[in-house]
Structures are given as C-alpha cells and as structure tokens.
Chain A
Amino acid sequence: MSAFLTLTGREIRLALRHPADTLAAVLFFVIVAALFPFGVGPAPETLARIAPGALLAAALLAALLPLDRMFGADAEDGTLDQLLVSGLPRAGIAGAKALAHWITTGWPLMAATPVAAAMLNLPVEAWGAAIAALALATALLSLLGTAGAALTLGARRGGVLLPLLVLPLAIPAVIFGAAAIEAAGAGLSPSPFLLLLGAGVSLAVPLAPLAAGAALTGD
C-alpha cells in the first residue's frame, strides 16, 4: 500500500513540475465548451438543452489528452522497467497511475466546470450535479484510459488508437452523467443516475488496473 501511495505521490509531483499538461486539458475543456454557443447560436434555451451532453463530451475529450504520455514517458526513459522490477504488482502500478491521472486531470476539470457551465447557460441548480457527474465520469475515464494507455504502449500511432479504444467504453459515462445533470436542471433528484455512474466506477476500479497490468510488459 505504501509503495502504491509512493508511486501516486511521485506521479502527482511530476505533474506539478509540468503544469502545462494539466493546464492544456483544462483550457481545452473550457474552449470546447465555449465553441458550442458559436455553433448552435446564443439562444439560452437551446444552449441549456445541449449543455449536459456538451459538458460531458468536452470533459472526457480533455481528460484523454494526457493519457497518451501516461506510460510512454516512463517507457522511454527506463522508469517503467524499474517500476516493473520494483516488486509492486503490475495492477498496482496501473492503479496508482489511474489515481494520479484522476487527481491531476479530473480534479482541475471539476474546478473548471462552473466556468464551462456558465458559458453553456446551464441552470445554477444543476452545477452541483454537473461537478458530481464530472467527478465520476473522469474517474471512469482515468481507469479505462489507463487500460487503453497500457494496451497502446509501444504501438505506432498509439495516440490515435487510444481514443478509439477508450471513448466507446466511456459512452455509459456520457449517458448517465448527462442524465444526472438534466434531472438536476429540471428540479429532479440526480442521484439515481449518479449512483449508476458510481456503479460503473466501482466496476472499473478492480477490473481496469488488472487489464492494464496484464498489458504492461517489459518487451
């Protein structure tokens, strides 16, 4: 457990030393959200109608950005070999990477949600649900993305392959996340949808690191 936290802490420290990656994801999220009013017109009702889906889609795309380098940087400088022979189980390495990705990408996206929500004219009542839905959706994407990043490690054009692998699996996150935000906007309880999203996360917590660990090899 302490080795797991040591690795997570190191990943977070590295992300803090290179804040550009996190900043790029957050700015990408905000800019994509800002593009919708230009595309569909500034009519408040139309915007509020598409806001839940647009928020989720923009956040998941933004969270994909740093995944490409998740294992790639470590594989290039030999750190991955050292981690693989460190005695830490491979699933544990993947789990620590996923947790660090969620903290360094998912949390900043949650913090930027009010900005994006305001630009999409999402009712203020739904902001809380939007942050909760993004928390769970980005956690799911971090887990699925870790498995995808491990699978595409060393593949040519891995950066293109990764979204093709991961995004179809993230469709439930978009459906339930958007439904939760929509329910909150309509004055209903978002919790049934958030609970379903949480069920998806709890399924991915044990399975995704196992899949990622199996894909990590020293080849």
Chain B
Amino acid sequence: MLEVRDLACLRGERAVFAGLSFRVAAGSAVLLTGANGAGKSTLLRLLAGLLRPADGTILWRGEDVAADPGAHAARLRYLGHQDAVKPALTVAENLAFFARLWGGEVAPALAALGLATLADLPGRVLSSGQKRRLALARLALAPASLWLLDEPTTGLDAASVERLRPLLAAHRAAGGIVLAATHIPLPIEDAEELRL
C-alpha cells in the first residue's frame, strides 16, 4: 500500500541515504532502526511530506503522494520529536484543537492514554512523559491510515508504553500502517525491521 522507490535525501549537501526502496502492506508495522544520524527521522519527515526528497518517489496505492499533498496529509498522523503541546492551553484544549481538525472525541482519547484526570491542567505543568502521552493521544482521536512515529516512547513509563499496545493493535487491525523509529522495543507484534 505504501511504496518507496529509489528515495534519496540530502541534508546540507550530504546524502543521508540514497536508493532506498521498500514496500509496506496494509496492516503491517515497520520499525526503523539504525545508528544516530542514519536518517530515521529524515525518512519519517519525507514520508509525512514535511521534506521533499532529492530523488525518488513515495507511492500510496500506486499513486505519487506529491501529486496531492492535501490528500496525503489527511491520511497520516505524524509524531515528531517535539510534542506540539501549547503551555498556555489546558490538556483538553490542546487535544480539542486537533479534534476539530480531524474529528473524533477528546475524552476517550485522553482516557486511552490515562490523561483523563489531567484534562483541565495547563500544558506548562505537565511532565515530559505526560506531554508525550498528550502527543500520543492525537493518534487515538480519529482513524488515519498511516502513522509515522518518531521515538514514540521517549520519556514514557512502562505502564504508558503498555497503553500503546491496544492503540497500535486496533490501528493495524483496521488496515493501518505504522512506521516507527525507535531504539526501545515497542509493544507491537510481528513488526518488520528496516535497518537504515
């Protein structure tokens, strides 16, 4: 369903990777591994459409995603290094903004990540792990076909990592794709590994 052909990326005139090709079927999970600087985050940003590839194409169901960036954006969720949590807004308000963009209910998404009791706290008082959980709660809002997760479990305690298991399983059962860059084992079954 997701196919990458001869992808190359330059960062500051230096090739991060080149000639990268792979294919991901619906419902599968791919763990991106590799040393620091191997291009895991860069690949995720390329797939999200945040960076333009120097060469090669990204295909979704056989169609080049660059032809319709709006449609591609609508089918993906990107979780970057930063949590995109506004310190001045409450936990519920932070998530409600994305709920209005994508649809979905705030309360169940907060409950899925164990944030229900923090709903009225402003973002600035959250710990880094709580901010990460709020960022992950965006995944629980509304279905999207492609999840691009950059180190999703940074700062999470073991119980919170375990909360991802049902989310990831439900996403894959619905035919969704997960690509995650990680050094820590994710609660995910039979994932393929792509070593950059």
Instruction: Write the residues of chain A forming the contact surface with B, with a CB cutoff of 8 angstroms.
Output: 2-3, 6, 10, 13-14, 17-18, 76-79, 81-82, 84-89, 217-219
Contact = CB atoms under 8 A, between A and B. Distances in A.
Given A17-B89, A82-B78, 11 more contacts: A6-B97, A6-B101, A77-B86, A78-B81, A78-B84, A79-B84, A82-B80, A85-B50, A217-B50, A218-B45, A219-B51
Contacts of A76: 82
A77 B84 contact: yes
Interface in B155-170: none
A82 B88 CA distance: 17
Given A13-B89, A14-B88, A77 B101 contact: no
Interface residues of B, number: 27
A88 B165 CA distance: 30
A18 B124 CA distance: 13
B100 interface: yes
Interface of B: 45, 48-51, 70, 73-74, 76-78, 80-86, 88-89, 93, 97-98, 100-102, 138
Contacts of B85: 77
A77 B89 CA distance: 13
14 contacts: A6-B100, A18-B88, A77-B82, A77-B83, A77-B84, A78-B80, A78-B81, A81-B84, A82-B138, A86-B73, A88-B101, A218-B48, A218-B51, A219-B51
A137 B86 CA distance: 30
B39 to A, nearest CB: 15
B145 to A, nearest CB: 13
Q: Of A13, A78, A84, which is in contact with the most chain B CB atoms at under 10 Å from its CB?
A: A78
A3 B100 CA distance: 7
A81 B82 contact: yes
A89 B70 contact: yes
A103 B74 CA distance: 29
Contact of B88 (A17, A85, A89, A217): A17
Contacts of B93: 13
Contacts of A85: 48-50, 73, 76-78
Contact of A81 (B78, B86, B88): B78
B100 A78 contact: no
Contacts of B50: 81, 84-85, 217-218
A218 B9 CA distance: 14
A10 B74 CA distance: 20
Contacts of A86: 73, 98, 101-102
A14 B73 contact: no
A73 to B, nearest CB: 9
Contacts of A81: 48, 50, 78, 80, 82, 84
A10 B97 contact: yes
B73 to A, nearest CB: 4
Contacts of B102: 86
Contact of B83 (A78, A87, A89): A78
B101 A3 contact: yes
B122 to A, nearest CB: 9
Contacts of B78: 81-82, 85
B146 to A, nearest CB: 10
A94 B50 CA distance: 16
Nearest to B81: A78
A2 B97 CA distance: 12
